[in-house]
Amino acid sequence: MNARVLVVDDEEAIRSTMKQAIDYAGHDCLLARSGQEGLGMVERESPDVVFLDIKMPGMDGLEVLKRIREIDESVEVVIISGHGTMETGREATKLGAFSCLTKPIETGDILLNIRNALEQRRLKTEVTSYRKLAEVRHEMVGESPALVQVADAIGRAAPTNSTVLIQGESGVGKELVARAIHRNSRRGKERFVQVNCAALPEELIESELFGHERGAFTGATQKQIGKFEQADRGTIFLDEVGDMSLRTQAKVLRVLQEGEVERLGSARTIKVDARVIAATNRNLEEAIDNGTFREDLYFRLSVIPIQVPPLRDRGEDISRLVAHFTDLFCTENNFRPKRFTPAAIDLMTRERWRGNVRELRNTVERLMVMTPGETIDTAEAREVLPSDARGGAGEVAANLAGTLREFKEVAERAFLVEKLREHSWNISKTAEVIDTPRSNLYKKLEQYQIKQEQDA
């Protein structure tokens, strides 16, 4: 690869030897006789790599290095030091110099340093662009009052070390909230360790969370560091915390109380300083009533509770979200953006997104892929929206049913599911709102085989 290389040295002999080597390797070589001159060139010519003599009359190398860093963060600087100046060379590395060469300099070293510096630059650029993409991907979009309230809560929770419990339906953005809290906290530069408590089988979750020593159980052929330990100084995100077994809950509670973990198969306790953020789409209050969630753990987790509202309560956000997901999808896939007509947005605003923001996002992606033209209008939007957005529940039921009785049943079922969703599957509340005894609601759930896992 061809590079633009600047050599800053007051010695004519060094400059010319280096220029020869650099030219010979096919790179562009620029020369400067003093720090002052070198800085001007960094500004004007944006070199990829700078070879910088540490000992020059006038402005010395360390000072030049500092200023180069201020002008251009990404340029790589290789320090040239004499025999007596090794110490300064070390200091320069601390200031962000890429490496350090000692005189006399060999051609091979020059070229090797250029190559490595270029590789380093490439990696840095790549990391920056991934970071940017990750930031966009985790950006929270929306300005509805409901979401602004959530943003306020994030702002208040972030700087503290308090445990946060995020609740809300599936796909409303709970994970984004957790990441935003971490990002805006003092731990933002440390790790954000996510554990999906629902995805792990009971036998694995404890070793996943707390780690294990080699030989702790059959199959433990290697030592494993648990997620709590990994999150030390950072944040651990216990996702789907409502799905943890009672036994694991007891252990997690202990970690929260004591601030220390024990790896399975070890009696040694290890101090961990991990901030805990938990999320669930279950109704934990109800789980406590049913005896499937520990009340003491609930109180420990919900020091700062944040409720993320469903998309149907913040229709104002839909058009922004559509634009955001369009951009995101097109950037990630090198896709030509398509335009949504106001009527299509309007139709999407009226839809009751059951998978919430996630489903809206999937729908936008599907429309991007499936629509041949440049514009997405109501006709296209209708194609991909779930059936009950097209007509009312009544119309759907009428289509599905042959007899009056069937019609009533289909409509009744749809009504119940809708109401349950609206109230986050809280049975008591739903029963109250639709004005029927709880026992009757339970009976209906049984009769229509309505289950949260499949109908939520």
The residues that touch ligand ATP, with contacts defined as CB under 6 A, are 140-142, 168, 170-176, 281, 321, 324, 357-358, 361
Which option in ligand ATP, Mg ion, none does residue 281 bind, with CB closer than 5 to 8 A by kind? Answer: ligand ATP
Q: 76, 175, 206, 455: which one contacts Mg ion (CB under 5 A)?
A: 175
Which option in ligand ATP, Mg ion, none does residue 146 bind, with CB closer than 5 to 8 A by kind? Answer: none
How many residues bind Mg ion (CB under 5 A)? The answer is 1
Which option in Mg ion, ligand ATP, none does residue 76 bind, with CB closer than 5 to 8 A by kind? Answer: none
Tokens 């049943």 sit on residue: 409
Pick between residue 241 and residue 357 the one whose CB is nearest to ligand ATP. Answer: 357
Residues 6+ apart with CB under 8 A from 2: 26, 27, 28
Which option in Mg ion, ligand ATP, none does residue 309 bind, with CB closer than 5 to 8 A by kind? Answer: none
Pick between residue 147 and residue 231 the one whose CB is nearest to ligand ATP. Answer: 147
CA distance 97 to 302: 47
CA distance 274 to 260: 10
Here the tokens at position 151 are 């943003």
CB of 95 to ligand ATP, least distance (A): 39
Pick between residue 212 and residue 361 the one whose CB is nearest to ligand ATP. Answer: 361
Residues 6+ apart with CB under 8 A from 67: 39
The answer to whether residue 455 forms part of the interface with Mg ion (CB under 5 A) is: no
CB of 168 to ligand ATP, least distance (A): 6
- For β-strands 192-196 and 164-167, DSSP reports them as unpaired
CB of 377 to ligand ATP, least distance (A): 24
Here the tokens at position 207 are 């070793």
CB of 278 to Mg ion, least distance (A): 11
Pick between residue 356 and residue 371 the one whose CB is nearest to ligand ATP. Answer: 356
CB of 427 to ligand ATP, least distance (A): 20
Tell me the sheet residues that pair with 4: 28
CA distance 1 to 432: 71
Pick between residue 35 and residue 173 the one whose CB is nearest to ligand ATP. Answer: 173
CA distance 121 to 116: 9
CB of 202 to ligand ATP, least distance (A): 20
Q: Which of 91, 90, 80, 76 is nearest to 123 (CA)?
A: 76
Q: Are 88 and 54 within 8 A, CB to CB?
A: yes
Q: Are 39 and 64 within 8 A, CB to CB?
A: yes
